[in-house]
Structure 1
Amino acid sequence: MKYRRLGKTELNVSVIGIGTWQFGGEWGMQFNQDEVDAILDKGQECGINLIDTAECYGDHLSESFIGDYMSRRKREDWIVATKFGHHFHERFTRTDVFDAEDVLKQLDASLKALKTDYIDLYQFHSGPDHVFDNDKLWTMLDKQVEAGKVRHLGTSIGSNDNLHQTDASSKVNSKVIQVVYNRLDRVPENRVFPSCERQDLGVLARVPLASGFLSGKYKPGAQFDANDVRHRKDAEVVRRNLEEVERIRRDEVPAGVDMAQWALAWCLKNPIVSSVIPGCKNPEQVVSNAGAADLVE
């Protein structure tokens, strides 16, 4: 495994992290604690130290799986990133709640679920600009940093071209930007990444496999069932993505190289990216994801 500095946080994160949206049940499968334990144990065995989760991956469900795991392991072995701003109701149904009083309750609920007394990175989660521009919210969060409940603040931008929230990071003491970035979606390179570089912000690249399109598993014409998150995408977008992936596989991926590993390493070839946070369904996928570090210079 290789490690990079997460911007001005000074945390050293594994270049491959573990995304845990799937633990909340919205990937069309339900996890149990033993399955989560096996995934996280394999991650640690591979040198991974970063877990990314959120309050609304289930109703703190993903956090609870992670907390149960960490309660039986060394907490200091992991850098835990979670998020705030939503109440989960059912699959793909959430409401935005970003007022300071409620976010404080969300923080305490996350700490309880994670069975920890501190969160390494607490991220504003895909909220609109008008709720981001709330001094009361960030003043409250700064107090939680001072109290030791949170080590660092970050922003998971909903639009991967949200320059407003990125540019305002230093003002609100947000030290990390999480953004969609992959070979099919390079928009952050234009404005967001230069802003991150100017401010020495850490960058976490989410959806690095483009919701599985870059996994190498799917050919043009592939169909996704109703329980698959890709089924919710526009059919024409899916068709174009599958055709572009086939072209990338043919023209860009070296012979004999696993496409998913290549796609993760592609993100990391950009030095602004501190870590990629792909999801995974089993320990075998963790091993495959971790292997992408070998392709990074």
Structure 2
Amino acid sequence: MVIKMRLGKTNLEVNKNGFGALPIQRRNMDDSVEILLHAYENGIDFYDTAHFYTDSEAKLGKAFEDVRENIYLASKGAAEEVDEFWKQLETSLKSMKTDYLDLYQFHNISFCPKGDDDLYKAMLEAKEEGLIKHIGITTHKITFAHEAIESGLYETLQYPFSYLSGKQEINLVNKCKEFDVGFIAMKAMGGGLITNSKASYAYMNQFDNVLPIWGIQKLEELNEFLSYDENTILNDELKKAITKDKKELGEDFCRGCGYCMPCPQDINISMCARMSLWIRRFPAEPYLTEEYLEIMENTNECIECYACVDNCPYELDIPRLLKENYEDYQNVLDGKTKV
């Protein structure tokens, strides 16, 4: 059974399963179209992508050109200058083969545009021209999130939220409900670190104002979420699984958002800062190779400039995480630690 929810003051009635289209940029066109049409045929009607998700927008455009009026398309632009804003919006519309977007969002930019900002005025002009129907914002910074909600200028907020989230994120969800701002949950699977989709779905089911956009790149992943419904609730078994995950991951872990990049020493921070978690939560063998060893050894080039820390929305001590993850990885390779 399809669960519907109202997406805040947009008044859009959408399937509680949203489709996050970032991962399909890793699939070819034919496979992506197959996955997207399977989602559509099974009732998913909200699709979120972005200008910078390479060919993701084009894949949505090809899949849904003939059924555009039956779905909601959301995209995002990261422009901080007005001219670039219009260029990105124009490109998105062309790629998605549509005259309008149901939701257009500022994409993790370095400030929260307000009513007097030329950038927000451009967004408002696009809405007045009918190019977009609703205005939203995405961010990883909780201070920006509160600014956006309190401004009254945004109809939706997209923010990281999963069963690994803490009290401040839950407070943010409740605040969105109070201000009638639709809450779109990105990274609902913890940036790939959560493997229990049923627990994730059940957790999200508790919040009637939260729309999770599951990042999907395989049919089998999609079918997992399609198999859940209003009866998928947090039972004792799922609660235990969540407690175990939260204990194992803690709060001081890399979410893999990538905003710490690029590194001046070419360290692959989003991989290296959470390698310990990968080799414990997934089969370790694929990561215990010369290729990955070389990537991990590059963490020794860290000069502790702390540019990554300044850019990290979670204020993690990244140089420390890199050091700890490399030491743990080396111990596993040497057989000193078992996974």
Same fold (TM over 0.5): yes
* Among 201, 204, 222, the residue aligned to 1:264: 201
Query: Which of residues 66, 69, 76 is equivalent to 2:63?
Result: 69
**Cα distance, 1:38 vs structure 2:** 1.1
How far residue 201 of structure 1 moved from its aligned partner, in angstroms, is 0.6
Q: CA deviation at 1:2?
A: 0.7
Q: Secondary structure at the match of 2:109?
A: coil
Q: CA deviation at 1:46?
A: 1.8
Relative to structure 1, is the Cα distance of residues 51 and 163 closer, same or farther in structure 2, using a 3 angstrom cutoff? closer
Q: Distance in 1 between matches of 2:138 and 2:75?
A: 10
Partner of 2:90: 108
Distance 1:130 1:49 in 2: 28
Does 1:120 pair with 2:56? no
Question: Displacement of 1:102 after TM fit?
Answer: 0.9
Question: Cα gap change, 1:122/1:159 in structure 2, threshold over 3 Å: closer, same or farther?
Answer: same
Say if 2:34 is the partner of 1:38.
yes
- Alignment partner of 2:5: what SS? strand
What are the within-5 Å matches in structure 2 for residues 208-287 of structure 1?
208-215=188-195, 259-273=196-210, 275-287=211-223
Q: Which has the higher contact order (CA 8 A, sep 6+)?
A: 1
Check the 8 A contact 2:77/2:106 in 1, yes or no: yes
Q: Which runs of 5+ in 1 are unaligned?
A: 25-29, 86-96, 216-258
Distance 1:44 1:68 in 2: 13
Distance in 2, Cα, partners of 1:276 & 1:190? 14
Deviations 1:30-76 (A, max 9, x none): 31121111111111122110111001112xx11011111122x3101
SS of 2:104 mapped into structure 1: strand
1:138 has 2:120 as partner: yes
Task: List 4+ stretches of structure 1 deviating above 6 A.
Answer: none
Q: Which TM-score applies when normalising by structure 2?
A: 0.64
- State the AA in 2 paired with 1:75: R
Structure 2 distance, partners of 1:83, 1:284, is 27
Task: Give 5+ residue unaligned stretches, structure 2.
Answer: 234-339
**Distance between the aligned counterparts of 1:282 and 1:42, measured in 2?**
11
* More displaced 10-residue stretch of structure 1: 99-108 or 125-134: 125-134
CA distance in 1, matches of 2:228, 2:194: 13
RMSD of equivalent CA atoms: 2.0
Cα distance in 2 for residues equivalent to 1:213 and 1:163? 24
Query: Which amino acid in structure 2 is aligned with residue 82 of structure 1?
Result: S
| Structure label with greater radius of gyration | 2
**By percentage of residues, which structure has more strand?**
1
* Cα distance change of structure 1 residues 187 and 159 upon mapping to structure 2, 3 Å threshold: farther
